[in-house]
């Protein structure tokens, strides 16, 4: 017995008459008209909103492009000023650049300005208000090297406490300076405490470990 599927294969789809084709065409035409009418009503109803959204997108895109170009131009101009100030060894120009820029660029310009004129006020500003922790730490090390004689060992330890962290690239330098300060006032106990922190740290630089072992 033939299956239902086999019987269905032999059944041909009935052909539509001209009238049926005409009816289908009329239905599609009416459907398109209805859709077009709905679309037009929607556009008319929300035309202001649509225009506002389109204009908003265009404005945002334009501002974004202008912003990128201005940012790049500003960076290039800053780089040129920085190179010129550095080449001419102009401490004032570098200090001015530090005032008008931000981030590490500002910190670097201020630090290099200090290296040229040795104005410790710039170091103090960098230590307290620097944009980046690395430059703040570097400034503190230099301040201690300059004013360490005026500070007690406890003051030095407290002042460099922020550097006693793995997040600071100057952690081992700070520990060694603190130990040396304690040694300078005859406090071997506290000095050895800091020296041991260096010697027992497997990640400590070999040069600093060597110095610490010599002092120990």
Counting Cα atoms < 13 Å in the Cβ hemisphere of 112 gives 19
pLDDT at 28 (0 to 100): 61
For 87-118, b where at least 16 C-beta lie within 10 A, e where not — what string?
eeebbebbbebbeebeeebbbbbbbbbbebee
- DSSP structure string for 120-189: HHHHHHHHHH-SSHHHHHHHHHHHHHHHGGGS-HHHHHHHTGGGSSTTSTTHHHHHHHHHHHHHHTT-HH
Whether the Cβ atoms of residue 116 and residue 89 lie closer than 8 Å to each other:
yes
pLDDT at 116 (0 to 100): 86
pLDDT at 189 (0 to 100): 94
Domain ranges of the chain: 48-127, 151-216
Alpha carbon distance 198, 36 (integer Å) = 80
DSSP state at residue 204: S
pLDDT at 152 (0 to 100): 94
Q: What is the pLDDT along the chain (216 residues), one digit of tens a residue?
A: 455 545 555 555 556 666 565 555 555 655 555 555 655 665 566 556 655 555 555 555 555 454 555 445 454 545 555 555 555 677 888 888 888 888 888 888 888 888 888 999 999 999 999 999 998 999 999 999 899 889 999 999 999 999 999 999 999 999 999 999 999 999 999 999 999 999 999 999 999 999 999 988
Quick one: tokens of 23?
Answer: 């009816």
What is the number of other CB atoms lying within 10 angstroms of the CB of residue 138? 22
pLDDT at 98 (0 to 100): 82
pLDDT at 70 (0 to 100): 47
Alpha carbon distance 114, 109 (integer Å) = 9
pLDDT at 18 (0 to 100): 60
């Amino acid at each position: 017995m033939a299956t239902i599927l086999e019987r269905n294969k032999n059944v041909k789809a009935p052909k539509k008459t001209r009238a049926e084709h005409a009816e289908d065409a009329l239905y599609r035409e009416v459907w398109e008209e209805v859709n077009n009418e709905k679309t037009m009503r929607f556009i008319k109803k929300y035309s202001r909103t649509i225009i506002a959204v389109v204009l908003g997108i265009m404005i945002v895109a334009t501002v974004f492009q202008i912003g990128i170009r201005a940012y790049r131009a500003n960076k290039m101009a800053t780089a040129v000023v920085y190179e010129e100030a550095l080449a001419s060894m102009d401490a004032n120009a570098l200090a001015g650049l530090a005032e008008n820029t931000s981030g590490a660029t500002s910190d670097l310009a201020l630090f290099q300005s200090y290296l040229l004129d040795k104005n410790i006020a710039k170091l103090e500003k960098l230590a307290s208000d620097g944009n980046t922790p690395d430059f703040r730490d570097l400034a503190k090390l230099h301040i201690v090297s300059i004013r360490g004689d005026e500070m007690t060992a406890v003051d030095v330890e407290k002042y460099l406490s922020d550097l006693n962290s793995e997040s600071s690239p100057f952690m081992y330098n700070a520990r060694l300076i603190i130990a040396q300060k304690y040694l300078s006032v005859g406090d071997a106990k506290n000095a050895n405490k800091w020296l041991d922190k260096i010697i027992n740290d497997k990640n400590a630089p070999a040069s600093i470990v060597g110095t610490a072992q010599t002092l120990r």
